[in-house]
Homo-oligomer: A and B are copies of this chain.
Amino acid sequence: MLIREFTDADWPQVWSIVREVVVAADTFVYDPGLTEESARAMWVEAPPGVTVVALDGDRVLGTAKIGPNKPGPGAHVATASFMVSAAARGRGVGRAMVEYALDWARRQGYAAMQFNAVAESNTWAVELYRRLGFTVIGTVPEAFALPDGKRVGLHIMHRFL
C-alpha cells in the first residue's frame, strides 16, 4: 500500500469514497446531501493542509485530509479526517493513514493532533485512535444523530506529537 498526496486524477475515486461515507451518515458530521463540488472544496485541502490517498496499484483504498484544526491562535494543533472504502476495510488502511497523518503533522511542527467529533458508536475508529495514543478529552452528549434517529455522543480526542 502506498500513501501519497492527492492529485486531480484521483478525484473520481476519492469522490466515490466520500459519497459512500457521507450518504451512510453514520460516522461523519457532514451534510448527506453534499454535492460533488462542495465535497471537493471540503475534502481537498489547500496549503498549509494536505489531502492524501492510500493506493493499491491504481485503486484508491482510502483518503485522508490533514491540516490546522483552527486558524490563528489555534494553528499549532493539527486535525485530520480519514475515510476508507467499504470494500477495503479490515486491511489496515485506516491505521496506515493515521500513522501517516501523525508523522506528517510532526514533520510540519504541529504540537498536537485533535479530532473534534468522533461518534462514540464508531468504535472501530475510537479504538484505533486510542491504540495510536489519543485520549478522549470529553464527550458531547447526544450530539450525533444516527440514521435510526438514536443520538450518541461525540468524542473530542487528542494527543501531543
Contacts and interface: CB of A to CB of B under 8 A. Distances in A.
B70 A112 contact: no
B143 A156 contact: no
A30 B72 contact: yes
Given A25-B72, A29-B74, A138 B137 contact: yes
Given A76-B145, A145-B76, A156-B156, A71 B30 contact: yes
Interface residues of A, number: 39
A158 interface: yes
Number of copies of this chain in the oligomer?
A: 2
Contacts of A76: 145, 151
A22 to B, nearest CB: 8
Interface in A43-99: 69-77
A28 interface: yes
A140 B117 contact: no
A103 interface: no
A56 B115 CA distance: 41
Interface of A: 22, 25-26, 28-32, 69-77, 111-112, 114, 116-117, 119, 136-146, 151, 154, 156, 158, 160
